[in-house]
Amino acid sequence: MSKNKGNVVSPDEFIERYGSDAFRMYLMFMGPFTEGGDWSDTGIKGVDRFVQRIWCLFSEKLNKKVDQDKAVTAKLHATIKKVTVDTERLHFNTALSALMELLNLLEKQETVSEEMGQTFAKLLAPLAPHLAEELWELTGGKGFVIDQGWPGYDESQLVTDTITIAVQVNGKVRAEFEAPTGISDTDAIAQAKADENVQKHLGGNEPKKEIYVKGKLVSLVV
């Protein structure tokens, strides 16, 4: 975008509609900070949904005493590491992606801890300062989040005993399941095919192709 090309986007309308944090994050999410990206009037809606999902999660599922399971703890420490490294490199788009992945996992939990919420707020602060301050207060934080120390991560916590494997049928994700990290190709494919929704989309047919991408994906082609 440039004045010479006549395609400058005025932020006022979008800030009024979605707020400055959503507008700020969308600019970051379009691509690497040093390269810019193509503006889309509809693309910001996805970031706005991200903002709404954050608020809904922590306002509805917050629990002071909950103990997060190993998979959530491992994902949290991996996210802290990713956001720390990417923010230092000005790779804000991938830092945001890491927070979105963490949010996806947290939404599947029955409850989330105040400590988790406060850590999320700290990681969010450089990207969405106003939302981060609101989240910090919501989760019982004292003072201002901007004055808090940056969260650290523990390398030993990055390893988990289980992994989440997605299942595709004809190129579309139809299910996912938890499995031991060392699950074999045969067992991964068998567990994928046993899923009720996968069976529905297989339609009683045996797949012509069965591919297991270790630790990530089972692809079935009918």
pLDDT tens figures, 43-99: 788 899 999 999 999 999 998 778 778 888 889 999 999 999 999 999 898 999 999
C-alpha span between 49 and 214 (Å, rounded): 31
pLDDT at 4 over 70: no
Cα dihedral across residues 100, 56, 176, 206: positive or negative: negative
- Give the pLDDT score at 5: 47
- Give the pLDDT score at 177: 87
* CA-based nearest residue to 28, from 39, 17, 19, 18: 39
What letter does residue 215 receive in the DSSP assignment? Answer: T
* DSSP characters over 42-59: TTHHHHHHHHHHHHHHHH
C-alpha span between 162 and 151 (Å, rounded): 24
Q: Which helix (H) or strand (E) holds 174?
A: strand 172-180
Amino acid at 36: G
What is the average pLDDT score of the chain?
87
Q: How confident is the model at residue 7 (pLDDT cuts 50, 70, 90)?
A: very low
